[in-house]
Amino acid sequence: MDKKEKKYVIAIVIVVAVVLGVIWYFRVGYLLKKPEMPEANIEIQTKMVDRGTINLRNAEYTEGHIKVGYEVNGFSLKEYNVSCKLYNDGNLISSSGSTDGGLIELDEQHYYFVGFENIDQVNLPDSINLTVEITGIPNESGQKPLTALFNVDLDKEM
């Protein structure tokens, strides 16, 4: 093998290594990154429940939806199902008792939930007094539900 062929082989090996590294990162590497909780967009409200805490961290009100973000710390989702209800001035907005959103597992017994409620069918004013009721419903009988109520005034974002 002459010098020119050696340079081509080395260049090909380097390109293959870089390509494989990029493929590994996008297929596996990003999964290894620890998930992060989004920054709060409201003043954080904290409630102590049994052996843990529930924090309301985010709230958003737009023309078509209400979205809340809350942190649950200190109890396992194997022991409790978490439900979220939304009220405006005491009137129920969410009909199901649980909102479609997302879940980020931050650590063992530490989670961030996103509650999302479509309100296209609900006639709400431009400013609402939102009450967020978060309940940990125990999977075993004999345990009591864990409930935290939060109030936040929201103006509709355009």
Q: Annotate 62-84 with DSSP letters as a single string.
A: BSSEEEEEEEEESS-TTTEEEEE
| Each residue's pLDDT tens digit, 102-145 | 888 888 899 999 988 888 777 889 999 999 999 988 888 778 88
Q: Which pTM was predicted?
A: 0.75
| Each residue's pLDDT tens digit, 9-58 | 888 889 999 988 877 777 766 566 677 888 999 999 999 988 899 999 99
pLDDT at 65 over 80: yes
Whether the Cβ atoms of residue 134 and residue 111 lie closer than 8 Å to each other: no
| CA distance linking residue 109 with residue 52, whole number of Å | 9
Whether the Cβ atoms of residue 126 and residue 155 lie closer than 8 Å to each other: yes
Supply the pLDDT for residue 95: 64
Of the chain, the percentage scoring pLDDT greater than 90 comes to 40
Cα distances (Å, whole numbers) of residue 97 to 35, 52, 84, 134: 27, 22, 6, 9
**Average pLDDT, rounded, for the chain:** 86
List phi, psi (to 5°) of 75: -145, 155
Q: What is the mean pLDDT of residues 69-79?
A: 90
Tell me the one-letter amino acid at 40: A
The DSSP bridge partners found for residue 122 are none
Of the chain, the percentage scoring pLDDT greater than 70 comes to 91
| CA distance linking residue 94 with residue 84, whole number of Å | 8
Distance between first and last Cα of the chain: 68
